[in-house]
A and B are shown apart, each in its own frame.
Chain A
């Protein structure tokens, strides 16, 4: 069985598995990292969103063989530590606006929002409603309006 190695939430991990196994299952089933959630398995719902080198990706849609040993993978469990705080500003904004309902999609929402804000800030502009309209993460509980408010707050604090 091939071995794959990468940096997960700041620590090196190595797994023995087929190279086409998607990262979601490497994280959930082999490494016991269960924050990234299965919601569709086809890169649509975005519940499994994690970061690779700070960029958001759908873990269900990336074979582990495409991850390099130097790649830094961050899941919701490692998000706060990535900024050296008990909570990332996006997580804090989620608490301030009491965004979550069932909470199943929220790890993915938070990881997506974090990357989206970074991307917009890198472009030297502030978050617009058109930006928010492009977020694809599904929330069946319908927390979208609070997500929008929380992202605007977090963007002002990041």
Chain B
């Protein structure tokens, strides 16, 4: 009682020829307020320019948004008696700030304070079909208008209820900070209207949305809604789920990727170890990584048990593979370049290698599972919870309705939570043991057996004559990216279970994201992939294909500009075909003081990128002087340092500039790491890296001291994507700056990958995890 729920719907394209931008929804019958919405349309970009690519007309954002259209009617908002407004968002919050952006959107449309809006993550709801996948930085693009419409209908219903009670017309009422005011100073808080505004039968309602000019919340900097919980340690993650007897559980994993346990040689001995309650083989399968599970009173005792196990392992499908053998397999799968277009023209050809990079978030794979004979309940950070629920139902032999899947907030994702590895594995262990489990992956396992960005090679060719670029070719060849999650539910996931259709998914996404934003005549970009996606554990790591598409392109452009005797910035400017792209490029060139005199061994670089309905440019300055490169920090890879980064981003309509700036900042840290330091070395079917002091993600000693993010003013009425956007252009800019500072074109990424000294001592693969140190007190400070 005391609540109203608002349901958003898609009224579909207008049939009467009038604008599709009509916002239609419902008030839904119930004891409390219920309403609905129409998804905003996304006008196809008009490409009145010589180079026309699929991306110009229809990109990944359109695909994901269209996929959600038929079912968006099931979004719900609730007005509570205490004046708060609740929204169970069918998306995963993993740090990207969508709970804050959604709260702002509701607050804006309803005129309630952001602090009164409660955004939670919805459980898996199979009726949503394609409308519960979090990916492609698409969340706000897809749900902005439905949320607004539902909120606007709720606001209208509240005003009508207030008008009835006060005996005035709705036109005389105003809402501010969740309180409705009438002439003469009478006020009613919205919470006290939540029952009165309810309807007894469904009603179709047309919503009037606020014009952008009236916005007071959207577009203004807003701190994260969960910031206080975070800084006080109260924020809840998957392992914090309160489930009785769900004891700590870890898995002893094989020495080669995707190997499997044949037998445990010392089962009785390990079962008798202090605190250990269970030890069991969990078979490896397509969905369950598996190994030997141990369950105990504490994770510390699980680590000891994992280390004590003596296991007979069957090798995995990657056994014997190393960086060199995979590169050789990639070379054999290369697609041919386009034949020359003009025999008088000159060409520049370059080839680049991008090594495996981890997809690790800081929170490793975690899940709590309670599988009983007749039902199952799972808690995990899941970007595809419907697929997880349906697949779990199949695996466990239960009806979908008996499998409850809770989406918990995630400690980062970077693409890893598109899959439900921890949820599937925890469920398999819980079923086998007949007990609830609290599953935690060890960091060493996370690097070695977790999902990674696939190794890729890229060949690029520019064909030019005089001042014109006649053609641009790019051929990327990669280890297969696993699309086994489909569009987030079982049917499309099943469509990607064979290599042929998985490659279809890859080429679809590559074709919808890869682009050349320059007028380069005939453009051709193609992808080919090797291996079945079950050989390596891959996924759509942050920004997916774009870093390995954009970096070669931008490096080649610098080469091209030099060959034509032009400045790298002016060259880009003259060939860019979109005014919004030119605007962000101009912005970074100006704010970053492009072309300023710099000491030898230091230089600037620029990269641009177009994706997610937006435009992004990054300018960096790098210091490659010996004193900087060899600066000493214990157990750290230092190397060249990006000293300054300037980013300008146009996402159409920025909802939260402060959050957008945070996403750009994070993407730049990612791009710097991918350009310079962050990778995995494959040797004998296993990755050598096992800790953050081996896989060199950007640390404080690699962080630019000077970072500036410029959020461009709104250019459209719809928000584009943000979460992954700056990775590709910052990686490209860093590579370009490195080339200019050193006079050497880098062709292998990250640049430090091939160095003679790894910079760390690889830990053994048996036992698979290192012992925890005991010398912590001696390092206290």
Chain A residues in the interface with B (C-beta under 8 A): 17-18, 20-26, 28-30, 34-45, 47, 52, 55-63, 66, 75-77, 80, 87, 91, 94-95, 98, 100-107, 110, 115-116, 119, 129, 132-148
CB pair B777 A62 closer than 8 Å: yes
Interface string of B751-781 (1 = CB under 8 A from A): 0000000000000000001101111110111
New A-B contacts (15) at CB < 8 Å, excluding given A60-B776, A61-B776? A22-B300, A43-B776, A45-B692, A55-B781, A58-B776, A60-B773, A62-B776, A63-B774, A76-B233, A103-B95, A103-B235, A104-B412, A139-B362, A140-B412, A144-B698
Q: How many angstroms between the C-alpha atoms of A37 and B190 in the bound complex?
A: 40
How far apart are A114's CB and chain B's nearest CB, in angstroms?
11
Q: How many angstroms between the C-alpha atoms of A80 and B234 in the bound complex?
A: 13
| CB of B11 within 8 Å of the partner chain | no
Choose, from B251-259, B277-285, B592-600, B666-674, the stretch at the interface. B666-674
How far apart are A11's CB and chain B's nearest CB, in angstroms?
16
| CB of B227 within 8 Å of the partner chain | yes
Given A76-B232, A104-B361, A134-B701, are A41 and B780 neighbors across the interface (CB < 8 Å)? Answer: no
Chain B residues in the interface with A (C-beta under 8 A): 94-97, 223-224, 226-235, 237, 239-240, 248, 274-275, 297-301, 303, 360-364, 409-412, 414, 440, 442-443, 633, 658-659, 662-663, 665-670, 691-693, 697-701, 703-705, 707, 769-770, 772-777, 779-781
Q: Which of B231, B412, B414 has the most CB of A within 10 A?
A: B231
CB pair A98 B298 closer than 8 Å: no
Q: How many angstroms between the C-alpha atoms of A142 and B633 in the bound complex?
A: 19
Given A22-B300, A138-B697, A143-B666, are A35 and B233 neighbors across the interface (CB < 8 Å)? Answer: yes
Q: How many angstroms between the C-alpha atoms of A34 and B703 in the bound complex?
A: 29
Given A20-B774, A29-B298, are A144 and B303 neighbors across the interface (CB < 8 Å)? Answer: no
The 8 Å CB contact of A29, one of B274, B297, B668, is B297
CB pair A45 B668 closer than 8 Å: no
The 8 Å CB contact of A62, one of B666, B703, B774, is B774
How far apart are B688's CB and chain A's nearest CB, in angstroms?
15
Residues of A within 8 A of B297 (CB): 29-30
CB pair A45 B362 closer than 8 Å: yes
Residues of B within 8 A of A57 (CB): 776-777, 779-780
Given A38-B364, A146-B662, are A75 and B233 neighbors across the interface (CB < 8 Å)? Answer: yes
User: Would you list 16 pairs from A and B whose C-beta atoms are within 8 A, ordered by A residue?
Assistant: A18-B275, A29-B300, A30-B297, A43-B776, A45-B692, A57-B779, A60-B773, A62-B777, A76-B233, A102-B409, A104-B237, A115-B781, A134-B700, A140-B412, A142-B670, A143-B665
CB pair B665 A146 closer than 8 Å: yes
Q: How many angstroms between the C-alpha atoms of A58 and B659 in the bound complex?
A: 30
How far apart are A7's CB and chain B's nearest CB, in angstroms?
16
Residues of B within 8 A of A142 (CB): 665-670, 698
Residues of B within 8 A of A110 (CB): 231
CB pair B231 A87 closer than 8 Å: yes
Q: How many angstroms between the C-alpha atoms of A106 and B237 in the bound complex?
A: 13
For the complex of A and B, the 7 pairs showing the least CB-CB separation, nearest first, are A35-B233, A102-B95, A142-B669, A104-B411, A61-B776, A103-B230, A76-B233
CB pair B781 A42 closer than 8 Å: no
Given A98-B658, A133-B633, are A119 and B705 neighbors across the interface (CB < 8 Å)? Answer: no
CB pair A29 B248 closer than 8 Å: yes
CB pair A59 B776 closer than 8 Å: yes
Q: How many angstroms between the C-alpha atoms of A24 and B669 in the bound complex?
A: 28
How far apart are A134's CB and chain B's nearest CB, in angstroms?
7
Q: How many angstroms between the C-alpha atoms of A115 and B779 in the bound complex?
A: 12
How far apart are A116's CB and chain B's nearest CB, in angstroms?
7
Residues of B within 8 A of A140 (CB): 360-362, 412, 414, 697
Q: How many angstroms between the C-alpha atoms of A23 and B228 in the bound complex?
A: 25
Given A94-B227, A106-B231, A133-B633, are A58 and B779 neighbors across the interface (CB < 8 Å)? Answer: yes
CB pair A136 B228 closer than 8 Å: no
CB pair B693 A116 closer than 8 Å: no
Closest to B694 in A: A44
Given A102-B94, A142-B666, A143-B666, are A95 and B440 neighbors across the interface (CB < 8 Å)? Answer: no
How far apart are B115's CB and chain A's nearest CB, in angstroms?
13
CB pair B772 A61 closer than 8 Å: yes
Closest to B773 in A: A61
Given A100-B230, A103-B95, A142-B665, are A66 and B301 neighbors across the interface (CB < 8 Å)? Answer: no
CB pair B274 A18 closer than 8 Å: yes
Given A30-B298, A60-B776, are A101 and B227 neighbors across the interface (CB < 8 Å)? Answer: no
How far apart are A52's CB and chain B's nearest CB, in angstroms?
6
Residues of A within 8 A of B781 (CB): 55-56, 115-116, 119
Closest to A135 in B: B700
CB pair A95 B223 closer than 8 Å: yes
Q: How many angstroms between the C-alpha atoms of A39 and B298 in the bound complex?
A: 16
Q: How many angstroms between the C-alpha atoms of A40 and B224 in the bound complex?
A: 26
Q: How many angstroms between the C-alpha atoms of A102 and B96 in the bound complex?
A: 7
Closest to A40 in B: B443
The 8 Å CB contact of B665, one of A60, A80, A91, A145, is A145
Closest to A64 in B: B300
Closest to A104 in B: B411
Residues of B within 8 A of A17 (CB): 298
Q: Which of B662, B668, B698, B772 has the most CB of A within 10 A?
A: B772
Residues of B within 8 A of A141 (CB): 95, 362, 412, 666
CB pair A55 B780 closer than 8 Å: yes
Closest to B658 in A: A98
How far apart are B616's CB and chain A's nearest CB, in angstroms?
15
Closest to A57 in B: B780
Closest to B638 in A: A133
The 8 Å CB contact of A102, one of B223, B411, B769, is B411
Given A29-B298, A44-B693, A138-B697, are A52 and B362 neighbors across the interface (CB < 8 Å)? Answer: no
CB pair A145 B704 closer than 8 Å: yes
Closest to B413 in A: A102
Q: How many angstroms between the C-alpha atoms of A41 and B763 in the bound complex?
A: 14
CB pair A101 B699 closer than 8 Å: no
CB pair B700 A47 closer than 8 Å: no
Residues of B within 8 A of A66 (CB): 774, 777
Given A95-B223, A110-B231, A145-B665, are A102 and B775 neighbors across the interface (CB < 8 Å)? Answer: no
Closest to A35 in B: B233
CB pair A40 B691 closer than 8 Å: yes
Q: How many angstroms between the C-alpha atoms of A30 and B248 in the bound complex?
A: 11
Given A21-B298, A140-B412, are A42 and B700 neighbors across the interface (CB < 8 Å)? Answer: no
Closest to A102 in B: B95
Residues of B within 8 A of A25 (CB): 248, 298-301
CB pair A41 B303 closer than 8 Å: yes
The 8 Å CB contact of B662, one of A38, A58, A143, is A143
The 8 Å CB contact of B362, one of A20, A29, A138, A147, is A138
Q: How many angstroms between the C-alpha atoms of A18 and B297 in the bound complex?
A: 11
Residues of B within 8 A of A138 (CB): 362, 692, 697, 699
Residues of B within 8 A of A101 (CB): 95-97, 224, 412, 662-663, 666
How far apart are B651's CB and chain A's nearest CB, in angstroms?
17
CB pair A22 B772 closer than 8 Å: yes
How far apart are B533's CB and chain A's nearest CB, in angstroms?
24
How far apart are B218's CB and chain A's nearest CB, in angstroms?
17
Q: How many angstroms between the C-alpha atoms of A87 and B232 in the bound complex?
A: 8
Residues of A within 8 A of B301 (CB): 18, 21, 25
Q: How many angstroms between the C-alpha atoms of A23 and B775 in the bound complex?
A: 12
CB pair B443 A42 closer than 8 Å: yes
Q: How many angstroms between the C-alpha atoms of A61 and B773 in the bound complex?
A: 5
Residues of A within 8 A of B240 (CB): 34
Q: How many angstroms between the C-alpha atoms of A143 and B303 in the bound complex?
A: 30
CB pair B233 A77 closer than 8 Å: yes
Residues of A within 8 A of B665 (CB): 142-143, 145-146
How far apart are A140's CB and chain B's nearest CB, in angstroms?
4
How far apart are A53's CB and chain B's nearest CB, in angstroms?
9
